[in-house]
Amino acid sequence: MSEDASTALFERLRERCRQLRWYGPYDENSNWVEERYDPASDHGGRLLARLDARAPQKLGFEYPPATEDQLLATEAALGFPLPPLLRALYAQVANGGFGFGYG
């Protein structure tokens, strides 16, 4: 994927996350989560702990973009390089913690 195409894709991802608030503070979507929260499927209470830990004033992705050192350490631990698009996503958008489901 060309750099221009990936830049456009990442901007679309950021915009979609902004629209659905898949990365930010408590808002009307927190009610959606609370209404559908099922303790039986939240083994160990990890989802609830993540929801409770989010400060109401927090904005932006839960995890900032990865640094080059973090990416290199990850690749070294895995023993192979990350796919280029995934590497670019982690470096330019966020290092996890966003999107549907558990992020």
Q: What is the pLDDT along the chain (103 residues), one digit of tens a residue?
A: 787 888 999 999 888 887 776 765 444 455 555 566 677 777 777 776 666 655 444 456 777 899 999 999 999 999 999 999 999 999 998 887 666 665 5
pLDDT of residue 10: 92
pLDDT of residue 23: 67
Count the helix, strand and coil residues of the chain and give each as a percent rounded to the nearest 5.
Answer: 60, 0, 40
Residue 24: what are its φ and ψ, rounded to 5°? -120, -150
pLDDT of residue 36: 66
CA 74, 79, 85, 86 dihedral sign is negative
Residue 36: what are its φ and ψ, rounded to 5°? -105, 0
